[in-house]
Amino acid sequence: MLWLTWRQHRWPLITVAAILTVYWTFLVYAGLTGRQALAGCPSWQVAPDWCFDASRSVHGIYTRMNEAAWYGRLLPLVIGVFWGAPLLARELEQGTHRLAFTQSVTRRRWLAVKIGVLAGVAALFGAVTGALVAWARGQYAQMYATRPFGDQEFFASSGAVIPAAMWVAALLAGVMIGLLLRRTVAAMAVTLILLPLAAGGLGLIRPHYLPPVERLADGAQMFFDPGAPNQEQGWVLAISYLDPAGRELDREAAGAICADPSNTYPTAECLDRTGLRQRALYHPADRYPWFQLIEAGLLLAASAAMALTVWWRVVHRRG
Amino acid sequence: MTAVVEMSQVGRRYGRRWALRDCSLSLPEGRVIALVGPNGAGKTTLLNLVAGLLRPSEGTLLLFGEPVRDDPATLARIAYLAQDTALYPTFTVDDLLTFGRRLNPNWDDGWARDRVSRLGLPHDVPAGRLSGGQRAQVALVLALAKRPRLLVLDEPLASLDPVARHDVMGLLMEAVAESGFTVLLSSHIISDLADTCDWLVAINQGRVQVSGDISELLDTHKLITGPRDALDTLPERLPVVAQTVTGRQASVLARLGAHQLDPVWTVCDVRLDDLVLHYLRRPEASALPGPTAVRG
């Protein structure tokens, strides 16, 4: 059964392994370059000039690394479309399931080995890829905004936990779509369309995994505004300002109150001077592991549901 | 005598359409069983049920006395050849033999390789590029090397040229002679099966019309011809399959058995394909064997 799994899926496995070899090598190179150049640099707000010079020198690598990581987000899609969708669809379309299910291997074993091997490899590849993306981008964290918590582009591809679960979920989604449609090309096309939509949907519900924390801050503790959502203190969801009377203002109105000719938006100095306070809705940084677990848990629950559907329909000969 | 297949009021439906309904059948072991019927009669459905690829919507199906289960022992006893011989198109003959060897504990690799070289099948051409006859031969070798007790073939000769048909049937019959397993094969061309089969099952519109030993069927079914006025003299309970009246002549196909007839009637033998044709033209007629002995 292992031989059969390899023989039937060797080219998709080899192709992805080849792509990953190149990708991983590049990530390691980019990470080491950044680490070497920015060694000893504190956070950019307090960094000395030489750190800025160093970061300029690696800016090219950094940009290319981000581009590669952006395309790397498509890897689970490749898994779903090229590993998952054809698995059952091709057997059903070519009628070879009649050959496969009348040897001496039970449907249970056939399905368990095929999906088990592919899911195991997907989880492993996903975990290593995610860990490398997190590590490589992390080398630039002092000078660039590369923190994954709050970065909707890279959250789901950073770290080992979520990518492992996501690649498995993508695989099973492809398998299930292939089983339902029974046609290889149609299954690949539908998977290609549905998976990005699902990932987008996940991004939409992500801020709501836990109720956000509300924080009123004065000038010393305020979040830099406008700033990226992935700040050092956590994932900033919304910022507004309260004037001394308690009325809520957006940043333009607060900036108008500040009337600072060199800054359109409120600064710490302005808040101290005018008595404005910043009201922020955010997820504190220590929630990052929890968000990873929650998202991975959702993906695994979806995977289990899809696996059970496939199992039920194939093993109980409903078709 | 053990029954290889025992079906009791088996039915199978797709949505609201019943492909098979109320089928009861008892097929003996060690025979070469022909399953005939017009297209759409339910032959493929019946074969898929026997092979375990489908579940009956109603009724019970026993294989070698046990219900059909998804476990290695049951699977090892059956081999199945699908219509249009399903083979992995990118697998070479060598790959397919490895496939068989890896997935079947009872696989006879030596026999399979010997047979493949005797048939002159190329070793490293992908199955998708073999001719129809070669594909059928490879698929048959795959099925036979598994050493099954029951071999099920769904229209194995349908898309083959006469030479290929002869080769495939030759390979099959040689294997049957060697090992004596049971064969169940379907065709809508009766003449292909007449020489090789010794049990006949006829299906029509999802129901079993005939199931019986072929020589027994041919012994009991007779074509009776005589003047139409003498129709009344036929025994009342004579099971008539078909009756034609042309001008002053009447001809009747009936299960004569032990009935005595007026001498005005002439009794002739019937050929197998004529017999089957008559049955298939009249879906209401049936010739099922009486109750078999209860197994102890």
* Number of residues assigned to chain A: 319
State residue A226's pLDDT score: 78
Domains by residue range for chain B, with CATH: 3-205 (3.40.50.300), 216-281 (no CATH)
Average pLDDT over residues A93-114: 92
Confidence of residue A99 (pLDDT cuts 50, 70, 90): very high
Confidence of residue A318 (pLDDT cuts 50, 70, 90): low
Average pLDDT over residues B115-135: 89
d(CA B197, CA B172) in angstroms, rounded, equals 12
Residue A148 and residue A194 share a domain: yes
Which residues of chain A neighbour B79 with C-beta distances below 8 Å?
Answer: 102
Residue A251 and residue A191 share a domain: no
**DSSP strands (E only) in A97-233:** 213-217
Residue A67 and residue A19 share a domain: yes
Q: Tell me which of B15 and A303 has the higher pLDDT.
A: A303
Q: How many CB atoms lie within 10 A of CB A7?
A: 15
Any B CB within 8 A of A103 CB: yes
d(CA A160, CA B158) in angstroms, rounded, equals 55
**Which of A98, A105, A316 lies nearest to residue B80, judging by beta carbons?**
A98
How many domains, chain A?
Answer: 2
Q: Tell me which of A198 and A38 has the higher pLDDT.
A: A198
ipTM entry: 0.86
Residue A298 and residue A248 share a domain: no
Determine, for residues A1 and B84 on separate chains, whether the beta-carbon distance falls below 8 Å.
no
In our burial notation (b when 16+ CB lie closer than 10 A, e otherwise), range B227-260 reads eeeeeeebeeeebebbeeeeeeebbbbbbbeeee
d(CA B108, CA B111) in angstroms, rounded, equals 6
- pLDDT exceeding 90 applies to what percent of chain B? 31
The 10s digit of each residue's pLDDT in B5-29 is 899 999 998 888 899 988 999 999 9
Interface test with B, best of A91, A102, A106, A316 (most B CBs within 10 A): A102
Residue A16 and residue A150 share a domain: yes
Bond before B122 cis per omega within 30 degrees: no
Residue A67 and residue A177 share a domain: yes
Q: Which of B145, B89, B85, B91 is nearest to B114 (CA)?
A: B145
**DSSP strands (E only) in A36-133:** none
* Residue A80 DSSP label: I
State residue B292's pLDDT score: 39
Residue A144 and residue A262 share a domain: no
Give B154's contacts (C-beta < 8 A, 6+ positions apart).
B43, B44, B47, B48, B80, B81, B82, B83, B185, B186
d(CA B86, CA B97) in angstroms, rounded, equals 14
State residue B1's pLDDT score: 60
State residue A54's pLDDT score: 84
State residue A317's pLDDT score: 67
Q: How many Cα atoms sit within 13 Å of A254 on the Cβ side?
A: 29
User: Residue A99's closest chain B neighbor by CA?
Assistant: B86
The 10s digit of each residue's pLDDT in B237-263 is 788 888 888 888 888 888 877 777 778
Residue A164 and residue A244 share a domain: no
Give A145's contacts (C-beta < 8 A, 6+ positions apart).
A151, A228, A230
Average pLDDT over residues B173-195: 86
In Å, what is the CA distance from B288 to each residue of A183, B25, B242, B253? 41, 9, 16, 16
Residue A127 and residue A85 share a domain: yes
Determine, for residues B72 and A1 on separate chains, whether the beta-carbon distance falls below 8 Å.
no
Residue A192 and residue A271 share a domain: no
The 10s digit of each residue's pLDDT in B131-162 is 888 899 999 999 999 999 999 999 988 888 88
Q: Which of B165, B268, B179, B270 is nearest to B224 (CA)?
A: B268
- CB within 8 Å of chain B, chain A residues 148-207: none
* Number of residues assigned to chain B: 296
Q: What is the pTM of this model?
A: 0.89
Residue A177 and residue A238 share a domain: no
Ordered alpha helix ranges (H), A240-285: 251-258, 268-274
Residue A52 and residue A158 share a domain: yes
pLDDT of B293 above 60: no
The 10s digit of each residue's pLDDT in A228-274 is 888 888 899 988 888 888 888 888 888 888 877 777 888 888 888 88
Q: How many CB atoms lie within 10 A of CB A319?
A: 13
In Å, what is the CA distance from A178 to each residue of A85, A97, A118, A202, B13? 5, 13, 15, 22, 24
Block residue for tokens 């069983």: B33
Q: What is the mean pLDDT of chain A?
A: 90
d(CA A245, CA A35) in angstroms, rounded, equals 48
Structural domain including A251 reads 213-287
The 10s digit of each residue's pLDDT in A128-179 is 999 999 999 999 888 887 889 988 889 999 999 999 999 999 999 999 999 9
Q: Which of A11, A235, A9 is nearest to A115 (CA)?
A: A9
